[in-house]
Structure 1
Amino acid sequence: MKDEFPKTVVTPLKAEGASVPTTTALEQEDQFMGLYWSADNKDGTVLQPPYSIPTLERLVEENNALDPCISAYEVNIDGSGYVVEKDEIEIDPKNTKDSTGKGFIEFLREIAPGVSFVSLRKANRRQMEMTGNGYLEVVRSITKEEILFVNSLKSSTMRLLKLGAPVTVTRVLRRFGKDIPARVQVRERFFVQMVGTKKVYFKSFGGTQDINRLTGEIGTNIPIKDRGSEIIHLKVKEAANSPYGVPRWISQVPSVVGSRKAEEVNLEYFESGGIPPVIAFILGGMLGDAVRKQLENIFINPKAKTRGAVVEVHPSGGSLDKESKPSVEIEKFGSESTKDSMFESYDEKCEKRVRRSFRLPPLFVGLSDDYNYASAYISYRVAEGQVFSPEREEFDDIWNMTVMKDLDPTGSYTLRSKQISITNIENQLKALGMTKGMDGIDSQNWVTVLSEIASVDLVYDEEAAEDEKQFRRDLLTGNTQNQNAPQEPGSQVAKGDSDVVGLVEEFCKAFNLTPSENTYTDADTIIILERVKYLNKSDRQIFDAILSARTLPGEYHDRLGSQSLCGCVVDHMIES
């Protein structure tokens, strides 16, 4: 009788019914399908985007690198604030008497019901960076056709219609200070929004032809209540063969998808419990059915691969004279795969590729472990000059040539986005202190800059400043009687400059330049010299002028020379 040996059985590493992680996002059906124009659908009027808009939005939601980059763009480009300017001069909403300027500020403060201008821009920026397209709806009043508010629409609900027939329109161009009308032929763009089964139609901002918002009929005699509102279409960059925009990261789609797949592989590895650590080879024996099933469960069960097992083996050979001794060999398997995670290096490279498409330093997405102040400052300056500032200027130009120009045809009022800057307040205050009292420095601007740096509300008193200037001029010319300054009995000096005058008195007494008794010690004279040393330029000129008037009786013959002489003597005393 021939011995029967058990057949070799290879057990799959994955048990039937084991959980496999998959994306939880549903594939969204393009709701415009059937409306797109194509060779097979000549009746279609809607243009199909080069890439699926819902898919682009889903990739942003699933990828771990795209959202931080888009958030950095939102904050640094559109979240920095703005100012309204008239003839390139900023309008102060608190002090201006310009009613038109105040009207612009109020309009932007609540650009739509319950929505600020900054919030509108950030929402539009996210749509642009996700899909490459941003759509701003401009709503006008029915009676006067004035702009009432502006909305940001979701890109996934918007599509472009085919261009209409060419029409002749008149455009006004500003050339060398004159408005010159120009007649040009254009093919105006129209848009459609679809939510569920309902469609709404729009026209381009400033278009000469209207469109029925419900039927899509194009004409010039459509009733005001049935006209579609206007759309400002913003693009990140235009597609090669399409009027739609595409996101700046479109060339990095393989890295975006690959990074997600790498994370899913790691998640699947954890869900399945990893690879079995060993394989058991049975030699010269066989397992009972119950033992075999238990061993398979130990190796295949997602949560039991790291446990030990006791295997009972029965011999399958031998004779009455000689018994068979079965053996069990355990081979290690998969131990080298038990690491922290797989594809970690690949995932990091994918993140760098995605971030490179946004041209962002690592600091802006939270990777700041190896940064100090100097490197962070340089990174920000480069990003500000090469990325953020050009994007702000582009948006400002579009807004000023559309909405602002419609509200103010003269072009006097413009919008300017603010910058987010990293500043060293200590260095700024030092530089500001060096300019105090210098010729050509406007005192009002000096106070304004100081208020911004120190975050205080200083008020410039123009009348008091003029009295101060006159008093200083009188001192330098030898006329110490200031008619505009308040006087004390027996005094010819204004109260505001008593500190400099008092310092001259102390200086003269300390160095025996007056007949009065000297009660100053050596320590007192050193302190007085230090006080003179740290006078600013303007006060030092006053000090030298008063000192020369009191110590050199004939100074009126050469007033400037006497002041210069006193200044040189005092400087020598300070240095020695």
Structure 2
Amino acid sequence: MEKKTVAKAYVLSDGEIIEESTLERYAIKQQGESRAIPSDRFDGKYGELGLIEPLYNFEALAQLLEINPYHYRAVKTKARDTAGLGWYLEAKTNNPSEQQREIAMQFLENPNPYKTLTDINNNVMVDYDSIGNGYYEVIRAEDGTLVGLEHIPAHTVRVHQDMNRYCQIRGVKKVWFKRFGFENDVDYVTGEIAPAGSIPIERRATEIIHVHNYTSRSDYYGLPDILPALSAIISDRERAEYNISFFENHAVPAYVVTVTGAELDEQTKQLIRRYFQQDIKKNRHSTLVVTAQKPQGDFSDTPVEIKFQALSVETKEASFRMLRADNRDEILSAHGVPPYRAGIVVEGSLGGSTARESTEIYKQSVIEPRQDMLENVMNRLLSVGLGITDWRFRFKDIDTKDTQAKIEELRFLFDIGAYSPNMILRELGKEPIDDPNLDRHFIFGQPLDASQQEMNAILNSLKQLHTKLIDIATKEGGKHV
């Protein structure tokens, strides 16, 4: 059977012509890019040092933050919502010691010369949600008093098989730590264990508190929530690389040109280029006449055919958008973060009560367990390291209240006579005003069963209420506390 000569090219939306071989070169380049997994800095040292190898490469997990914006935003959002909204001390007894409070506040407000407590907790939570593990370094004075707190990047630390020691490697440097509360000393250079107080303070290892996202597959390390959505991250990366490798360098293909029985020579390309760049812009009904020459030495009677086929670019682009949306939803679902909480507006999604309910679920199922975990760490530090017994550390919660909706609801209840002004104050968490007129009920601003004299008194009372509400708003800066 006679083999026909077939040439194929693409006419781009700007009128340029790209041969199929060019597109193939981009595909080969994309496929040929390195997929090497980052090296493990502890490779070859696990058996030598008695360390436990993690289930997954921590270096690779850490790098996922750099290649996917949805994963990055979800991790940052959870860290901020957990540890970045503020904290306070709560009394545990009826008559708490103010001296203990001063000691605790002095440490919590200055745990590190370069970082605030919020910075440290935030960094630990970023590691926790990107790698599944987070580490605090606890620094004590020679007498055992707590004097400092630091964050240690989780991808640089490995757990010893005795679970009492930890090793960190950064570049060529290696440092040992001991578990917080471990009664013996550990040499920070060699990792050797010795009786408490026997190692000089300058060689004594500091302590580590390890928090991890539990997995039944390991007693030593945790795993991040993103693992089930790794395929979505890879898929989104492949989609982005394909777009970048071709469409960033060329316009979008509009037609495919197939020439059968002849070559797509430069003269033919020039005719097509001139037609799409000039002729069709002057007259949309202009005709394209194309001639093509057979390859040299081809004397067959095979007819020459030239076909133009329009490409459905919109469908392809829509498919890419749907793929990206699916990947995004899978990543956010793995993290348990509502899209709008991560700064993503989804078209057609419901707001109002649905958004409040989603935030409440996110708060209870994702954020509060993380806050409880870090609060336990902080309270253990205060108790063991500083002897604080009358106060407990607490994080501020996410405010899930819709203030505007609440105001509209209270206004409606007031207008139909269901709520009195003092009832509204109580609902807002404020002290009621000692005025019987503000315990009355109104219907659309008119008091029930009131004489003219009483009406005047009521108006004066409402003016006082208005003044108080303005004063409250001014003192609080218009913000919910």
* TM-score, normalised by the number of residues in structure 1: 0.61
Q: 1:219 to 1:528 in 2, by over 3 A?
A: same
Q: 1:124 to 1:291 in 2, by over 3 A?
A: same
In 1, Cα distance between the equivalents of 2:383 and 2:264? 88
Give the CA deviation at 1:290.
Answer: 5.7
Give the CA deviation at 1:237.
Answer: 2.0
Indicate yes or no: 2:380 matched with 1:381: no
One-letter code of the match for 1:81? Answer: G
Match of 1:529 in 2: 454
In 1, Cα distance between the equivalents of 2:184 and 2:178? 8
- Tell me which moved more, 19-28 or 109-118: 19-28
In 2, Cα distance between the equivalents of 1:128 and 1:377? 26
One-letter code of the match for 2:326? Answer: K
One-letter code of the match for 2:356? Answer: Y
Q: 1:57 to 1:89 in 2, by over 3 A?
A: farther
CA contact (8 A) 1:279 1:333 kept: no
Indicate yes or no: 2:67 matched with 1:68: no
Any idea what the Cα deviations from partners look like across 1:293-326, whole Å, max 9, x if unmatched? x67998xxxx9xx999975445899xxxxxx997
Match of 1:250 in 2: 227
Give the CA deviation at 1:263.
Answer: 2.3
CA contact (8 A) 2:259 2:307 kept: yes
Indicate yes or no: 2:44 matched with 1:34: yes
For 1:257-296, list aligned pairs within 5 A: 257-271=234-248, 273=250, 277-282=255-260, 291=267
CA contact (8 A) 1:237 1:248 kept: no
In 1, Cα distance between the equivalents of 2:459 and 2:264? 100
Match of 2:335 in 1: 358
Highest RCO, 1 vs 2 (Cα 8 Å, sep ≥ 6): 2
Larger radius of gyration: 1
SS at match of 2:21: coil
One-letter code of the match for 2:352? Answer: Y
Work out which of the residue numbers 379, 403, 415 in structure 1 matches 2:381. 403
Give the CA deviation at 1:90.
Answer: 11
SS at match of 2:317: coil
- Tell me which moved more, 12-21 or 72-81: 12-21
Q: 1:297 to 1:31 in 2, by over 3 A?
A: farther
Match of 1:434 in 2: 422
CA contact (8 A) 2:263 2:295 kept: no
For 1:78-89, list aligned pairs within 5 A: 78-87=83-92
Any idea what the Cα deviations from partners look like across 1:385-444, whole Å, max 9, x if unmatched? 2222222122212321x201113446322111111214437478988952599xxxxxxx
Q: 1:195 to 1:288 in 2, by over 3 A?
A: closer
Q: 1:89 to 1:233 in 2, by over 3 A?
A: farther
Alignment root-mean-square deviation, CA: 4.2
One-letter code of the match for 2:151? Answer: S
Give the CA deviation at 1:107.
Answer: 1.2
Work out which of the residue numbers 5, 8, 14 in structure 2 matches 1:8. 5
In 2, Cα distance between the equivalents of 1:377 and 1:393? 22
Give the CA deviation at 1:62.
Answer: 0.6
Give the CA deviation at 1:155.
Answer: 1.0
CA contact (8 A) 2:6 2:258 kept: no
Q: 1:337 to 1:432 in 2, by over 3 A?
A: closer
CA contact (8 A) 1:18 1:272 kept: no
CA contact (8 A) 1:77 1:389 kept: yes
Q: 1:102 to 1:156 in 2, by over 3 A?
A: same
CA contact (8 A) 1:83 1:90 kept: no
Give the CA deviation at 1:270.
Answer: 0.9
Q: 1:18 to 1:76 in 2, by over 3 A?
A: closer
Q: 1:252 to 1:314 in 2, by over 3 A?
A: closer
Q: 1:113 to 1:384 in 2, by over 3 A?
A: same
Match of 2:441 in 1: none
- Tell me which moved more, 152-161 or 334-343: 334-343
Q: 1:382 to 1:310 in 2, by over 3 A?
A: same
Give the CA deviation at 1:264.
Answer: 2.0
Any idea what the Cα deviations from partners look like across 1:230-249, whole Å, max 9, x if unmatched? 00001122351351111012
For 1:287-436, list aligned pairs within 5 A: 291=267, 311-314=290-293, 327-332=304-309, 334-335=311-312, 339-368=316-345, 369=347, 370-400=349-379, 402-409=380-387, 411-423=389-401, 424=403, 426=407, 433-434=421-422
Give the CA deviation at 1:85.
Answer: 2.4
Match of 1:522 in 2: none
CA contact (8 A) 1:138 1:147 kept: yes
In 1, Cα distance between the equivalents of 2:353 and 2:264? 71
Unaligned runs of 5+ in 2: 9-18, 282-286, 438-449, 462-481
Q: 1:193 to 1:360 in 2, by over 3 A?
A: same
Match of 2:188 in 1: 213
CA contact (8 A) 1:291 1:311 kept: no
Indicate yes or no: 2:201 matched with 1:224: yes
SS at match of 1:112: coil
Any idea what the Cα deviations from partners look like across 1:451-496, whole Å, max 9, x if unmatched? 9x9xxxxxxxxxxx9xx9xxxxxxxxxxxxxxxxxxxxxxxxxxxx
One-letter code of the match for 1:211? Answer: V
Q: 1:396 to 1:62 in 2, by over 3 A?
A: same
One-letter code of the match for 1:13? Answer: E
How much identity, in percent, do the aligned residues show?
Answer: 20
One-letter code of the match for 1:29? Answer: S
Any idea what the Cα deviations from partners look like across 1:43-72, whole Å, max 9, x if unmatched? 441211110111111112111321121122
Any idea what the Cα deviations from partners look like across 1:225-278, whole Å, max 9, x if unmatched? 101100000112235135111101212211221222222223334146455722
CA contact (8 A) 2:167 2:175 kept: yes
Give the CA deviation at 1:115.
Answer: 1.4
Q: 1:45 to 1:296 in 2, by over 3 A?
A: farther
CA contact (8 A) 2:176 2:205 kept: yes
For 1:107-146, list aligned pairs within 5 A: 107-141=107-141, 143-146=142-145
In 2, Cα distance between the equivalents of 1:297 and 1:36? 64
Any idea what the Cα deviations from partners look like across 1:183-206, whole Å, max 9, x if unmatched? xxxxx5210111111100000001
In 2, Cα distance between the equivalents of 1:98 and 1:130? 39
For 1:42-53, list aligned pairs within 5 A: 43-53=48-58
One-letter code of the match for 2:226? Answer: W
CA contact (8 A) 2:272 2:290 kept: no
One-letter code of the match for 1:235? Answer: H
- Tell me which moved more, 21-30 or 214-223: 21-30
For 1:147-162, list aligned pairs within 5 A: 147-162=146-161
Give the CA deviation at 1:212.
Answer: 0.6
